Structure 1
Amino acid sequence: MDKIKVVCASCHSVNFIPKKESYAKANCGQCKHSLLDTKPFELTELSFDNAVVNSDLPVVVDFWAPWCGPCKMMGPVFEKVSAQFPLKARFAKVNTEQEQNLGATYNIRSIPTLIIYQNGVEVHRVSGAMDETNLSQLVKRFI
């Protein structure tokens, strides 16, 4: 059976799990946190590369800041859409106010900016807030 690499949102350990259409249960081998948890997780300069490079699933990263109005509107949409894709895509957030080096490294010029990574490589970028339908359709293109 094929296996996929999934990075735990809680402890950032890399897990190898059987590739299936759907999962009833999948827990991290290290911390036992559910890998089915779809809540977007925060990335820092220390955890970013591990989460993006070691994931066989597409990683959708929201670069945002707490003072940004469109980011505040996008936050609940991002979280709601993430719930539609357990172990199909991972959703993460980077607070560019706290992680300025990441914002500079990835050439973030406006926020919110969403970047989708596959196999550690940026495959799509879009700036500006999105509604639930458009974000969901965008993510489905990379699954």
Structure 2
Amino acid sequence: MSKFGALIDQDIPVLLDFYTESDKRSVVMKPILRDVAAALGDQVKVIKIDVDKNPDLAEALRIKGLPTLVIYKKGEMKWRQSGEQNAQALINVVRKFI
């Protein structure tokens, strides 16, 4: 968990995508998250976290539905949403925390 703390303790927004390769909705989010990262560049850090490989973290954060998207800034959770999102909606949400 200490690595996770360092990961989310950033001055820029950190957009976490909790997913699994077997979840179709998670797979749909891959190109959308690439678009978000490309549009915002170094103003945001986009990180994908496979819940199958990180079950303790997923349980600690009570990740139930996939995909679950979470924005942290300076170690504080700012926004959380489960389910598919479109690129422009995500860009708009992230910009609120830049």
* Shorter-chain TM-score tier: over 0.9
> What code does the residue aligned with 2:58 have?
G
- Structure 2 gaps of 5+ residues are none
TM-score w.r.t. structure 2 length?
0.93
Could you tell me whether the CA contact under 8 Å between 2:40 and 2:91 is conserved in 1? no
TM-score w.r.t. structure 1 length?
0.65
1:48-107 superposed Cα distances (whole Å, 9 cap, x missing partner): 221112x11111100001100000001110111111122211111110011001100111
Q: What's the RMSD between the two structures over aligned residues?
A: 1.2
**Structure 1 equivalent of residue 3 of structure 2:** 47
Counterparts of 2:67 and 2:2, CA distance in 1: 21
Aligned residue pair count: 98
1:140 aligns with 2:95: yes
- Structure 1 gaps of 5+ residues are 1-44
Counterparts of 1:141 and 1:131, CA distance in 2: 16
Indicate the structure whose relative CO is greater, using CA pairs within 8 Å and at least 6 residues apart: 2
Residues 47-86 of structure 1 mapped to structure 2, 5 A cutoff: 47-53=3-9, 55-86=10-41
Residues 1-143 of structure 1 mapped to structure 2, 5 A cutoff: 47-53=3-9, 55-143=10-98
